[in-house]
Amino acid sequence: MEIKRILIANRGEIAIRVIRACKEMDIESVAVYSDADKESLHVKYADAAVNIGPALSYKSYLNIDNIIDAAKKTKADAIHPGYGFLSENADFAKACQDNNLIFIGPSVKSIEKAGDKSSARQTLIDLGIPVIPGSDDILSSPDMAGDVAEKVGYPVILKASGGGGGRGMRVAHTREELIKAFSISSGEAKAAFGNPDIYLEKYIKRPRHIEIQILGDMSGNYIYFAERECSIQMRYQKLIEEAPSCFVDDKLRATLGKTALKIAKSIGYFNAGTMEFLVDKDKNFYFMEVNARVQVEHPVTEMITGIDIVQQQILIAQGRKLEINQDEINVDGWAMECRINASDPDDNFMPCPGEIQSIIFPGGPGVRVDTHIHDKYMVGPFYDSLIGKLIVWAKDRPSAINRMQRALDEFQINGIKTTIPFFKKVLKNKAFQKGDIDTHFLDHI
């Protein structure tokens, strides 16, 4: 099942990340782009590029027919969905299958099982895996949400069924807040993922957000990687990620890893995926969700393992067996990622579109920049504000922090506001430097 040409059904830095993997594997790449993205570097770097519609997502990056048509016209063998947009959409995976296109991700059935929160929760309960109390089904109305919240107890959190990344997430402390948040949450979910379905969970105060990256092939072979610490968040959007976590010991790492693989096997999952957990101060953990795609923060895992996760996705999609054993997965040093967003930290992280007048990228040992921007690039208002990722590797966490501080000092983006100054502040914080963090860390600095 050899793949010769891959269409990337996404944009920006993740599209470039997939293009780079393709080039190193001698596979041709096809970019798709909306009217707003014609100057993005992913359009220039691909072997071919196809315009799939206007700037609005539902007319372009969420338009299944246009994407499938582009794949057919360019004679692509496979489609890589990246993250966000249609990456966890079972209908899209099915459309690829129906048109003899290899979907570089899990099976349609696995996506459906991961997205069916009711079925997934019951499966995990049957397996003896701790889950956060919440709704047993998709919420059909604000009143239904209110009734569930009364049972599990406030505060509660609404979440999008069709995807992650903080989209559609809202916390409510009362029934009145919940009813007001319901339509907002559903609307955000529909805009981001083309799916308005939401569900509800008990809101756990001040936990750590820990996730486990897994790989599984079509022959039933699985591996898990050391955890990623994703607790530095603003409105449920991750901002800083690192691997490993200074909080997770060997025992908890093994338990989380084995739990992640148990979940994957229970739903017949293959390809790359991430199991997300909340972990309290006593190291009790609760399963949150399956992310049936590559994660934004996958580079920190790559940096401490030397394994190219995107290339592994492609190999698995070709039917290849994993050539990596669990015993070969080691932690080498420490990696940290800062998400560079076009947003203003001094104005509640509001998006800050506009023209980038000039850029100076950081460099030197252990520094990686994943981005699609360039001088005179116009950051529009239509998509997520992520414009790049700064990733560093060093021998240990203090050294990684120092290297990230140095790289942030070198990173110059002129013309728009970005999160770079904010990260400089966080990295100097004594509690952060000690690793004393949780998902509400930014509320207290």
CA 255 → CA 160, 245, 289, 326, 393, distances in Å? 27, 14, 17, 14, 26
Q: Which residues are catalytic?
A: 293
Query: Which of these, 436, 245, 424, lies nearest to 338 by C-alpha position?
Result: 424
Burial of 142 (0-12, 13-18, 19+ CB in 10 A): middle
**The dihedral formed by the CA atoms of 245, 250, 271 and 279, expressed in degrees to the nearest 10:** -50
Q: How many residues does the chain have?
A: 445
Task: Report residue 147 as tokens.
Answer: 């009734």
Beta pairing, strands 285-291 & 334-341: unpaired
Q: How far apart are CA 29 and CA 91, in angstroms?
A: 23
